[in-house]
Amino acid sequence: MVATEHYPLSELTTMRLGGKARWVIEISNREDLLEALDFAKQQNLPWFILGDGSNVIAGGDYNGVIILNRITGFEHIDEDDSSVTYRIGAGEVWDHIVERLCALELSGVEAMSAIPGRAGSTPVQNVGAYGQEIADTLIELEAYDTQTGTFVTLERDDCVFSYRNSLFKNPETRHHIITSITLRLNKAWMKPPFYSSLESYLSKHAISEYSPNTIRIAVIAIRTEKLPPVDQIASAGSFFKNPIVTSDVADSLLAHYPDMPHWSMPDNRVKLAAGWLIEQTGLKGFSKYGMAVYPKNALVLTNVNATSTDDLEKFKTEIIAAVQAKFAITLEQEPENLIG
């Protein structure tokens, strides 16, 4: 195990902000994880598990231990007439896993192509895109329970999945470190109707064959058009959660904005499009404090030349206030804050 001191957080997060981490340790197996946690305990410091930092906003310095999860693994576990099951190391690059599964013509994660990050991060906020989410495919995961000091297996229902949330994101229950995920993929391919933007792309390009790789290629094309490449433009992807409101609130808004995108959900709720709400305030392309609303997608905030997380906070606050003033809806940040 190698511990590096005073490591720039801007090099560990895709928004490229933040001060320095007191210590950074990269792990490649379960034994490394236990050593890293023991190191943090000996130093009397907090710790934080980090993948690629694509859904984390770093504040100032982090006076703790950043543990970079790089545990690998791609293991065929089971197969029947309709499905194939794989166990995947939490430190695997997520899109590489999607690519491999699509090449095997297995369905279940193809719509989540080109999402940055590591496999172990996907259950944390129940990652999803274009009609699929990890909760649909995950059957169990292995994690280290820091309360009991043991490795445990959690089944899907144990993870308490909801929209962009889970057991692992809730501050009151987040005491597990994910080391592997087990996914059950379908041999049967996706069928229409698809998520609206995916449906539009397939129709526009006269695509009627829906193999996992075909859907993957379509999703990558859509995301490339709408989202900045994080290796070239500093951002954290979608910065705000799509708000979920009651059907009464949605009906009231639709009376004034009949073309407002919306999706029905269980329990008399409706999901709205945060990007559309921001765009209606006239802030698409807006820039200030060294930050900008991405011109191609109002849901994305980019770091043009901001010097601190304070710049991002001020910028975010103005956007939230504008949407609140126009729609009486309060947007919530999607990326997690790393505060030390």
The pair of structure tokens assigned to 129 is 């895109």
331 three-state secondary structure = coil
**Rounded Cα–Cα distance for residues 137 and 135 (Å):** 6
Selected catalytic residue, list 164, 184, 216, 223: 164
**Rounded Cα–Cα distance for residues 14 and 62 (Å):** 16
Please spell the DSSP secondary structure of 245-299, one letter per residue. EEHHHHHHHHHH-TT--EEEETTTEEEE-HHHHHHHTT-TT-EETTEEE-TT-TT
Is 197 a catalytic site residue? no
Is 252 a catalytic site residue? no
Strands 47-50 and 62-69, by their bridges, are: parallel
**Rounded Cα–Cα distance for residues 338 and 340 (Å):** 7
Is 334 a catalytic site residue? yes
φ, ψ for residue 209, nearest 5 deg: -110, 120
CB 335 within 8 Å of CB 116? no
Q: Which residues are catalytic?
A: 164, 238, 334
